[in-house]
Chain A
Amino acid sequence: MTLLAFDWALFIEKLVLIAVVIFGSLGIALYSTWAERKVAAFMQDRIGPNRAGPLGLLQPFADGAKLIFKEEIIPNSANKWLFILGPGMAMTAALITSAVIPWSSHLEIAGRIMPLQVADVNIGILYIFGAVSLGVYGIMIGGWASNNKFSLLAALRGASQAISYELAMGIALIALLMLTGTLSLKEIVEQQMAPGHYWNIVYQPLGFLIFIVCIFAECNRTPFDLSEAENELNMGYHQEYSSMKLGFYLFAEYVNMFVASAVMATLYFGGYDVPFLNESLLSPNVAALVGIIALMVKIVIFIFIFMWVRWTIPRFRYDQLMELGWKKLLPLALANMLITAIVILWLQHK
């Protein structure tokens, strides 16, 4: 009967953490839309949203409420169930990716140690890859089910772009894994926190560059937003969508951005590590709080970079995009991997 003996305290602890992570990422996605408009306004010397609340801070809630109360339209010629499944899958994939990210060390409440990570599995990175790949189905199913030529073309573009850049991203990551020797994100962060060890960006600058370019492509962000190229495809794969289903596609992009920023911060920038601070001197709860703040600062910086790039760099042409992914980034990532391997082995056997 040991299988039936269920640890309810652990269950509730995880449920609370999951609720905080999911609603937290939705909240950050919500405010990313506001930040995107404010950053765009700043870069184009405009004011941006300023009507709803001070500085337009209530704007995202107004937008969200509007989306919920809009009329739902499912085109006559569309495949009804797949049409609904598409945005649902895009959003679900975005929300489940964050399960393996360590948000901070751990809290101690009444003698109970609560790790601030939903699941510390030893295949963390593979899980993220798997969950991110599910997002492609959301785009592909939605675009195909709409039975609209614009949507179909956009979905095909989005899908083949995402899978093309996944290759270079995978190989860029392997160079990092050679350094860490583990796929667990928690261990990767702890290695970077160890004294005498720098953040992985110091050891893998080229790997990080390849990784961030691929992340931009995976998130369908400018300059890789060909699936939303409005001058060729009207609105892209969510052309026929309205109401909350459209909202899901739009929010999923921002949730993906948030999770991608968290992954980049975790893998290359020390995760919840604060530079030049020995966390073991602080009490566990304070250290956990400082860690969360540190990680959030890094994430916000990355999200800002996403927006900065969007309003700076124009969109690629499709053949340029494919050429960059396959013929430039892939060989570059392979070379980076081999050079990393040689240097590590040479230092090891010197």
Chain B
Amino acid sequence: MLSSHIMAAAPVAAQHASSYLPIALQIVFAIGFVALMIFVSALLGPKRKTNDKLANFTSGITTHGNARQPMAIKYFLIAILFVLFDVEVIFFYPYAVNFKSLSWTGFYEILLFVGLFLIGFVYIIKKRALKWED
């Protein structure tokens, strides 16, 4: 059942999907190379481990706890804002590709979208979300 289903879809999808196969090949090649190098260098190096050597590096001063602790919220905020704005940027791509055929009508509609984008942008600036020094 499954195979007949795939066979039926093959003529349509084959040419499209097959152009991505070399990319998959390159990804496999790259992962293989990286894994091999990490493995080989792990075998080749000397292994003389001591407790002092395996402690975290802190420029010589005594360690105070570890790095599993709360960090500045600003970084998280940037990440959230990035997700929001990047999704909006991605919406521009299909528009840009069809830009010439959409002509002025498309442009007025994208102006509306840019307007909404800017409202959000001005809002986060007014909220001081991008201000790094308090």
Residues in A lying within 8 Å of B, measured CB to CB = 2-3, 11, 14-15, 17-19, 21-22, 67-78, 84, 87-88, 91-92, 95-96, 98-100, 118-121, 126-127, 144, 146-153, 156, 159-160, 163-164, 166-167, 170-171, 174-175, 177-178, 181-183, 234, 239-240, 243-245, 247-248, 318-319, 322-323, 326-327, 330-331, 334, 337-338, 341-342, 344-345, 348-349
Known: A77-B56, A167-B86, A177-B96. A323 touches B130 (CB 8 A): yes
Q: Is the interface of A mostly helix, strand, loop or mixed?
A: helix
The residue in chain B whose Cβ has the minimal distance to the Cβ of A161 is B78
A70 to B46, CA, bound (A): 7
The residue in chain B whose Cβ has the minimal distance to the Cβ of A235 is B57
B112 interface hit (Cβ, 8 Å):
no
Q: Are B82 and A167 in contact, CB atoms less than 8 angstroms apart? A: yes
Task: Determine which of A72, A77, A92, A121 lies in contact with B41 in the assembled complex, contact meaning CB atoms within 8 Å.
Answer: A72
Q: Are B67 and A147 in contact, CB atoms less than 8 angstroms apart? A: yes
* In the complex, number of A-B residue pairs with CB atoms less than 8 Å apart: 217
Q: Are B47 and A71 in contact, CB atoms less than 8 angstroms apart? A: yes
Can you list 5 A-B contacts (CB < 8 A)? A15-B29, A171-B92, A177-B93, A181-B99, A322-B132
Q: Are B99 and A341 in contact, CB atoms less than 8 angstroms apart? A: yes
A146 to B66, CA, bound (A): 10
Q: Are A18 and B25 in contact, CB atoms less than 8 angstroms apart? A: yes
Residues of B89-134 contacting chain A, CB below 8 A: 89-90, 92-93, 95-100, 103-104, 107, 110-111, 114, 117-118, 121, 125, 130, 132-133
1/0 contact string of B23-36 vs chain A (CB within 8 Å): 10111011101110
Residues on A with C-beta less than 8 A from B47 are: 71-72
Interface residues on B, range: 35 or more
A147 to B22, CA, bound (A): 37
Task: Determine which of A15, A151, A322 lies in contact with B67 in the assembled complex, contact meaning CB atoms within 8 Å.
Answer: A151
CB distance from B119 to the nearest CB of A (A): 13
CB distance from B69 to the nearest CB of A (A): 8
Residues on B with C-beta less than 8 A from A22 are: 26, 29-30, 33
Q: Are B34 and A88 in contact, CB atoms less than 8 angstroms apart? A: yes
Q: Are A96 and B45 in contact, CB atoms less than 8 angstroms apart? A: no
The residue in chain B whose Cβ has the minimal distance to the Cβ of A23 is B33
Known: A76-B51, A344-B99. A71 touches B45 (CB 8 A): yes
Q: Are B75 and A156 in contact, CB atoms less than 8 angstroms apart? A: yes
Q: Are B93 and A68 in contact, CB atoms less than 8 angstroms apart? A: no
Residues on B with C-beta less than 8 A from A98 are: 26
Task: Determine which of B54, B79, B118 lies in contact with A73 in the assembled complex, contact meaning CB atoms within 8 Å.
Answer: B54
A349 to B6, CA, bound (A): 47
Residues on B with C-beta less than 8 A from A331 are: 121
Q: Are A164 and B20 in contact, CB atoms less than 8 angstroms apart? A: no
Q: Are A72 and B99 in contact, CB atoms less than 8 angstroms apart? A: no
A72 to B79, CA, bound (A): 33
CB distance from B95 to the nearest CB of A (A): 8
Among B14, B30, B31, residue most surrounded by chain A Cβ atoms (within 10 Å): B30
Q: Are B130 and A14 in contact, CB atoms less than 8 angstroms apart? A: no
Known: A2-B10, A146-B56, A148-B67. A341 touches B107 (CB 8 A): yes
Q: Are A326 and B22 in contact, CB atoms less than 8 angstroms apart? A: no
